[in-house]
Amino acid sequence: MNSSRPFVVSGLTLHEWYQTAKEFASQAEVSPAELEWLLQEVAGIGILDLRLGSVRDRPQIWLSVSLEDLTKLWQQRLDRRMPIQYLTGVAYWRDFSLVVSPAVLIPRPETECLIDIAVATSQDFTDDNQHWADLGTGSGAIALGLATALPTAKIHAVDRSLEALSIARRNAERLGLSDRITFDRGDWWEPLSALKGQFTGMVSNPPYIPSEMLPDLQPEVAWHEPPLALDGGSDGLDCLRHLVNTAADYLRPGGIWLVETMAGQPPAVADLLQQQGQYSHVQISPDLAGIDRFVLALRSVEC
Ligand code: GLN
């Protein structure tokens, strides 16, 4: 036995449980890969062992929850459309395993690109001790990605939600990055006013879904993910507009303004940046699926 896996079942029992759970998954149109993921987290079983049926031959398998509770977890996935990441409490993003709860948005694969764009764009700044902001940090994913990719930078993670900040802080501690990141509660730049004009970069995945679209999102998102992290107001651009209008005071000359948006929004965000008058080099880039999703700008050197 292992302290994090105190429950035991026979391999045969678990194999049968898996077969039944898989049938329910296909009726509910949930991918069996999610079931394998759940079993990997709860029982440490590899996907091949499940698929090839070799689990059956193992006399004992240790689980972190009882078989009864495992059934309840899977029911929550199928009947209540609870995302698997909230059920296991874990999301994988870049090379991190992150703690998540319904207080934070589940970090999405497309958001991983923000870190690569930030790093590629930051090559012109060679000074140490740069300040970077992750505004609306949620699970802390972006802040952690920046802290790893920019090893001498100081990262400032901000969120309005105390619950989110406590998860972000926990993730930083687990990854040994807490001395590189400060966590502040507040609205966007507000807690960082002492550092006006000093930021080398701002990276944000703000809420950008138009309010009236929220109920139409897939149930996993609409029913379980925090509206605070999704709702971008009537046209979806409320927070993006706010970041355009406020960031110029916080970024140093040439400083980087970088956001994720919803498909279709980048031209409007680029217009907002142009109209604001204090940004240059506005650039739109696609995610891995080829959909334009990221908007980058530099704070003008002279304005
Ligand atoms: N990408 C998320 C989704 O697909 C939304 C994230 C956000 O609003 N920033 O639901």
d(CA 153, CA 115): 13
pLDDT of residue 1: 52
User: Ligand 1: distance of its center to the CA of 170 in Å?
Assistant: 22
Cβ(185) – ligand 1 distance below 6 Å: no
Residue having the nearest C-alpha atom to atom 9 of ligand 1: 207
Those residues with Cβ within 8 angstroms of residue 19's Cβ, 6 or more apart along the chain or in another chain: none
Contact 153, 147 (CB under 8 A): yes
For the CA of 231, the closest atom of ligand 1 is: 8
For the CA of 225, the closest atom of ligand 1 is: 10
Contact 46, 40 (CB under 8 A): yes
Which run of H or E residues covers position 91? strand 90-93
- Torsions phi, psi of 200, nearest 5? -75, -30
pTM: 0.95
Q: What is the chain's length?
A: 303
Pocket-testing residue among 105, 221, 265, ligand 1, by greatest number of atoms within 8 A of Cβ:
105
- Summarised one tens digit per residue, pLDDT across range 120-164 is 999 989 999 899 999 999 999 999 999 999 999 999 999 999 999
User: Ligand 1: distance of its center to the CA of 287 in Å?
Assistant: 13
Cβ(230) – ligand 1 distance below 6 Å: yes
pLDDT by residue, tens only, the chain of 303 residues:
567 899 999 999 999 999 999 999 999 999 999 999 999 999 999 999 999 999 999 999 999 999 999 999 999 999 999 999 999 999 999 999 999 999 999 999 999 999 999 999 999 899 998 999 999 999 999 999 999 999 999 999 999 999 999 999 999 999 999 999 999 999 999 999 999 999 999 999 999 999 999 999 999 999 999 999 999 999 999 999 999 999 999 999 999 999 999 999 999 999 999 999 999 999 999 999 999 999 999 999 975
Those residues with Cβ within 8 angstroms of residue 122's Cβ, 6 or more apart along the chain or in another chain: 130, 150, 200, 201, 256
Q: Provide the residue ranges of all domains of the chain, joining segments of one domain with +.
A: 7-79, 103-299
User: Ligand 1: distance of its center to the CA of 83 in Å?
Assistant: 14
CATH 3.40.605.10 at 103-299, yes or no: no
User: Ligand 1: distance of its center to the CA of 285 in Å?
Assistant: 17
User: Ligand 1: distance of its center to the CA of 230 in Å?
Assistant: 6
